[in-house]
Amino acid sequence: MAIPYYHVDSFTGELFAGNPAGVCILSAFLADGVMQKIAAENRHSETAFVVARADGDFDLRWFTPEVEDDLCGHATLASAYVLALRGHGEWPVRFHTRGGVLTVVQKDDGFEMDFPAQPAQSCEVPAGLLPALGLEAALVMKSRDYMVVVDSVEQVRGLAPDFAALAKVNVGNGGGAIVTAAGVTTEDGGEVDYVCRMFVPGVGIDEDPATGSIHCTLAPYWAGRLGKDSLRARQLSARGGSMLCTVDGDRVKIEGRARLYLQGMIEV
């Protein structure tokens, strides 16, 4: 069986940046175990599997190298980008997922995704979380992921977590640890409202290069703190990533670009 396959770099306009995602276009979902093996073989943080529905919408599932995910932004962006490459003409696109129905529209030279807001709440801090991140003190809140707020961009950029120790922290629900700080003037003279990094070693992803779903939590937090609904974000991983986020009630609109790296066929 030959499966059309695409390798897409998400949340970037350049190759070799952003977050790589695999996208498989299927007529029907394969067995869960086969899709998990494909994701493990790809070794991307996420591989998306897309199936067209009779009503014109699409079913979408995401797999990390180790588990099926409940919500993924960069592989959703990659999936919409691939549908556009393949000539899909009906926009917005509606993806039916484990995280609900997600709508994507084409916008300028990118795509805007409509995701559910997941505001962080006060929480008890796991004893090993901050030491594993190399931090002594920080504000910690929780939604799906732990959100760790530090004082400076330099702290976020300079993090060197102990991934083995971080993987042992009980995050629950396949979540991870987001570390974030207020914004900075970028090298090209632009400004961002906040910066972040994302670590998920418990599901086989030490650091996710450019993550969409975490802005379901980050954007509401920074919107409240900065008093604005539209925010520019920058992920400070080695590959980097840029997003424009807009808080709209209980939804967060996440805008980004994508680039095709390669396409081919997977034989299974």
Q: How far apart, in Å, are the Cα atoms of 93 and each of 75, 99, 114, 116?
A: 14, 15, 11, 16
Closest CA to 239 of 205, 210, 262, 206: 210
Q: Count the residues in the chain.
A: 268
Q: What are the DSSP calls for 184-202, one per residue?
A: EE-TTS-EEEEEEEEEEGG
**Which region, left, alpha or beta, applies to residue 187 given φ > 0 means left and ψ of -120 to 50 means alpha?**
alpha
d(CA 117, CA 99): 11
Say whether 115 sits in a helix, a strand or coil.
strand
Considering 46, 112, 207, 255, which one is annotated as catalytic?
Answer: 46
Evaluate the omega torsion of the peptide bond into residue 92 and state whether it is cis, within 30 degrees of 0: yes
Closest CA to 147 of 41, 48, 40, 219: 219
Query: What are the residue ranges of helices labelled H in the chain?
Result: 32-42, 74-85, 129-133, 153-157, 163-167, 215-226
d(CA 225, CA 248): 16
Closest CA to 218 of 143, 113, 114: 143
Say whether 163 sits in a helix, a strand or coil.
helix
Is 136 among the catalytic positions?
no
Catalytic residue numbers read 46
